[in-house]
Each structure stands twice: as structure tokens, then as C-alpha cells.
Amino acid sequence: MTAEVPLRDRLRALPAVDRLAAQIANGALPTPAEAVSVARAVVEERRAELRAGATDDPDLVARARERLRPPLRRVLNATGVVIHTNLGRAPLADSTAQVVAEAARGYANLELEPQDGRRGHRDAHISGLLRELTGAQDGLAVNNAAGAALLAVASIGLDRAVVVSRGQLVEIGGGFRVPEVIAQAGARLVEVGTTNRTRLADYERALAAEDDGALILRVHPSNFRTVGFVEDVAIEALCGLGAPVVDDVGSGALTELPALAGEPPVRRSVAAGAALVCFSGDKLLGGPQAGILVGRADAVAACRRHPLARALRIGRLPLAALAATLALHRDPERARREIPVLRMLDVPRETLERRARQLADATGGELVEAVARVGGGALPLLELSGPAVALGPRGEGAVAGRFARALRGGDPPLIARIADGRVLVDPRTLAEDELDLAARAIRAARPA
């Protein structure tokens, strides 16, 4: 019926900006100027939709009020995926969040030496911690792990051959491919070995063929594993070949946990003599998005001098979060207790059963056995078994889809997963103080 109304009449029926602004006002907020700005944007957006052929009839007041809300806001992660890329990966420890809030309130000594008033280096806030925790001679951080790998190869691999096992020419999220990183860094890729088997002799032959020297790049295949008839070369053997080695170990395992047994320890690569070791700040380290480089002083200095370092430098707030997270790793027990990612990976089964039972009792759900995942490209084969809460009738996929959509539309949104045609709520990725919020969100969204 609406589609039959002429476009001219539908455009004329749009509310006046002032009237829509008055409808979305709620006490002192938004201010009149904010309300008018949002109202104008919504009306212009709707006008463009109508001209493009839209035939629906949306609630423009609701749309305007939604636009006034912060676009980035808290959600409840009930998916069972611990490091969920779409949900911001690692949640920060409470103590880390307090440090970030303090650093955000005013100015900070980001690049200032308070003792003498001279300009300092932002790396100074973490380099000592990185030396202490990894045994490296020096360290720095950039804004993400892909940037760390790019900077490492560009700094010490420029105009060199970069020797990589064919089994490590991986692609990670967003289409980021190792061969393209090497090309962008101004280096030349030399592939050795095969997809499943690379031996020390393969590296030796490649290095012998390069008159101008070469760099060895080892890349941990974070988001997949090759199993069966496989062979690779240990980091100690690679470092013994004499060429500089860049070791991208991926997820940043600084704390020992049974669940992390499949991840290469950062300290091992440093002790082996790698020129640079790259890893992520927002995966198993449990901190903010960051890429970390540690290793020999000369190699880190080369990274610091490279023009890319400026383009990739880490901001004030992520740096504050990273320093606070690294400080927690000084005490492994405290790190396991306070860093949410490590706590979720190490949570006792009895705790999960208590949480699941609390949610089931509050929502009328059914306790079932489920498998959670680490996520974020870390430990892809690890299955974290534990109880979860299944909601709704079994096999009703369409109903479950509508229910999950309603949960995502709540305040705060609750993000669950669907298994066997039912909505599944996994307590592993819900904090203790989120259980009541999750139960309320489920009751509010439950189909009538």
C-alpha cells in the first residue's frame, strides 16, 4: 500500500527537523543543538532512502534516539568465544581499565622526562617491562600485530631475501597475507620446503644461495594447524644458522597455563637469539590492540628509526592499557586471577556449572554440554568443554534466529550462538557481575 503513494507525497510527509528534534528530546539531553543535528541527519538519510526506492515505514523517532547513543558500547558476550574479534577481542582487567581512565582524564607524560623536562620516548613506558618479562635487550609497541610484523621485516629485511617456509605463508583475518607483507616491506620472498615439511637443510641451501645476506622469517600459523605428516625447524636451530631471525609468535603467551601449551612462548624465542620477536597485545596477553616487538637492542633500534614506526605508533590510551597489563604479568598468579582472558581459559568447571545453573534457574533454560573456543586466531584445535544454557525448543531454527536477534537488540545487547536450532548461552565468557544482566536480557527478549 505504501509503495503506491507517489514519491513527492512521501517526501512531503517527512517530519520537519524542528518537530523531530522536539520529539527526541529527553529532559536536558540531548541539548537543542544536538537534537537538531541528529534530526536533520535522520531526515536527510530518510529522504535519500525514499529516492532510492525504499517502501518501508520506519520509526524515525526511534532511529534518531538510537543515533544519539554511543556507537561503541558494551555488549554481553555469551558466545563462548573468549577472544572474539567482532566484540573487541580481549576485555581489559579492572585495574587496567582504571589506569586507562586516569590517563584519559587530562594530560600525561607520554613523551616527557619529568626529571629534566626533556622530550622522551613513549616506548620508555613499556620497554623496561618488556625486558623484564621476556629477557630481551629492548622492546617497543606499535598499533597492531600486523604492523609489528611489517615493521620488523622492513627494518632489518630491506633489499634482502626473506626466507620463509612454504607452510608458513599464511593468511590471517582481513586478507592479510605474509607474501604481501614481505613485498610491502621492500624485501624479496624466498620460499623453502613444502606445505607440510620443511627441514633445516632447506634453509641452509637458501642462505648459501644469497650473496647479499638474508633474513629468516618464522611465522606461527595462529589460526590453523597442519597435522599428520609434518616437520618444521625449531627456533633454536634457525637462530644457529647465523642469519637474523624474525619470529612472529602470534598471540603473545607470557603466562604459563595448561590451555596455552600449544602456543610458542615469547621467552623461548628471545633466549634462542631471534633478532626480533613479534606478538599481539590483545590476544593471550589479555591487553589492548597492539603489536609488540622485542629482541636484540640493535634490531629494536632499527625498528624505532624506521619511518614506518611513526605511521604505526601506538596511542596514549592503548599504551597505558598495555603497560598496566604487562605489569600484571609480573605475578603469574595475579595475571591468571585478574586478566579476563586468562581467567576464562582457566575457570574451574564447578564455577561454570554454578553460573550455568544460576542462568538456567533465572530463565527457564536447560543445562547442556557445550564446547567453547579461544578465538582470535589462537589455539584453533583447543576445545573448552563445559556447561551452557540452551533456550527454546530443540530444532526450531527460525525461532532461535528471531530470539538471537532480539537478544542482540537489547540494552545491553546479549550476543549468543545457535546450536541444534536453539539459542545457546555460554557462561564461560560472562563475568560474575554480568549474570543477572544476562538473565534480564533473556527474559526481556524471550518470545511470547
Taking 70 as the threshold, does the pLDDT of residue 276 lie above it?
A: yes
- Using a pLDDT cut of 70, give the percent of the chain over it: 97
Q: pLDDT by residue (tens digit) across 317-356?
A: 999 999 999 999 999 999 999 999 999 999 999 999 999 9
Average pLDDT over residues 292-306: 97
* Torsion angles phi and psi, residue 165, rounded to 5: -65, 140
Selected residue with higher pLDDT from 10 and 392? 10
SS3 content of the chain, % helix, strand, coil (to 5): 45, 20, 35
Cβ-contact 314, 147 below 8 angstroms: no
Q: pLDDT by residue (tens digit) across 10-43?
A: 999 999 999 999 999 876 678 999 999 999 999 9
**DSSP state string for 348-372:** -HHHHHHHHHHHHHHHT-EEEEEEE
Q: How many residues does the chain have?
A: 448
Q: pLDDT by residue (tens digit) across 54-77?
A: 989 999 999 999 999 889 999 999
Query: What pLDDT sits at residue 353?
Result: 97
Q: Which of these, 237, 200, 233, lies nearest to 219 by C-alpha position?
A: 233
Taking 70 as the threshold, does the pLDDT of residue 448 lie above it?
A: no
Selected residue with higher pLDDT from 287 and 375? 287
Q: pLDDT by residue (tens digit) across 407-444?
A: 999 999 999 999 989 999 999 999 999 999 999 999 99
Buried-exposed string 322-337: b where 16+ CB fall within 10 A, e elsewhere? bbbbbbbbeeeeebbe
Taking 50 as the threshold, does the pLDDT of residue 181 lie above it?
A: yes
Query: What pLDDT sits at residue 174?
Result: 63
Domains contained in the chain, CATH given: 2-66 (no CATH), 76-86+342-445 (3.90.1150.110), 92-331 (3.40.640.10)
Confidence of residue 377 (pLDDT cuts 50, 70, 90): confident
Query: What pLDDT sits at residue 1?
Result: 43
Average pLDDT over residues 375-395: 85
Considering the chain, what is the average pLDDT of its residues?
Answer: 92
- Residue 104 CB partners (closer than 8 Å, separation 6+): 317
Q: Which of these, 338, 308, 315, lies nearest to 431 by C-alpha position?
A: 338
Q: Which of these, 440, 448, 407, lies nearest to 424 by C-alpha position?
A: 407
